[in-house]
Amino acid sequence: MSTRVRASLFQGPEMSGDVACNLDAIEHAATRSAEAGSAVLVTPEMSATGYDIGDLVHERAESSDGPIFLAVSEIARRVGVAVVYGYPERAGGRVYNSVQVVDASGTSIARYRKTHLFGDLDRGRFLPGEELVVQFELGGIVCGLLTCYDVEFPETVRAHADAGTQWLVVPTGLMVPFDIVATHIVPARAYESQVFVTYVNRCGRERDLQYCGSTCAIAPDGTELGRAGRGEATLTVDIDPAALDSSRAINTHLDDRRRDLYTPRTG
């Protein structure tokens, strides 16, 4: 039976220094999360290595079980919280913008490769992932993963809702001037697809990018469970499946769809 799960959302600094500094920031955030009684810490897109780091992407890319994973695994096991982190994943000679979930025992339980790549920042460095719906379970709640630009497409969130995702975890690297994504699009996605969305952004400046912060947690009824400002912050929120059941009983968008009319026209 699913129960309420407490989560900490770390809106970290620019994190563009060396990997050791980034892992240290993640460790400190995980420790604060444990002190707050959280079961999981969610960090931003590419939190272990930096995001807008140019050719360093290829230098820092590693396998899903490489040194970064081993370090995060040890943090999770020692502190006793699950950790969601981002990194450039090298696999078969290719590099992906990936996010991995490590549970409180230090075991990897999910890995997602960003499927919708944003501009040259992504397309110049990464290949797109081919698996859209990646899920894992936390406290009996079915969780799903997307990364940043992915959530801006209604089809991605709806695919998760149709697959049974209750809580969508979205590490991101949203930059100025696209604040509207955090303030309007993310709440709309949560409401229209009736899922919890935790959208965890970076802050500060990294090379040419100024990140806009605004990390948020949105309930299925559109309620804002928490929102950060522009600077470094850690939000602690409770994900309550009972609120999802209540919202879906009132908002019947998912059940009321006319799927028979949505077939694309040809010719």
- Active-site positions read 45, 114, 148
**Mapping DSSP to helix (H, G, I), strand (E, B) and coil, where does residue 131 land?**
coil
Under 8 Å between Cβ of 207 and 7: no
User: 213: burial class by Cβ within 10 Å (0-12, 13-18, 19+)?
Assistant: buried
Q: Rounded to an integer, what distance in angstroms lies between the CA atom of residue 237 and that of residue 245?
A: 18
Q: Of 6, 13, 57, 79, whose CA–CA distance to 211 is shortest?
A: 13
Q: Tell me whether strands 167-171 and 141-145 are parallel, antiparallel or unpaired.
A: parallel
Q: Of 243, 235, 244, 154, whose CA–CA distance to 200 is shortest?
A: 235
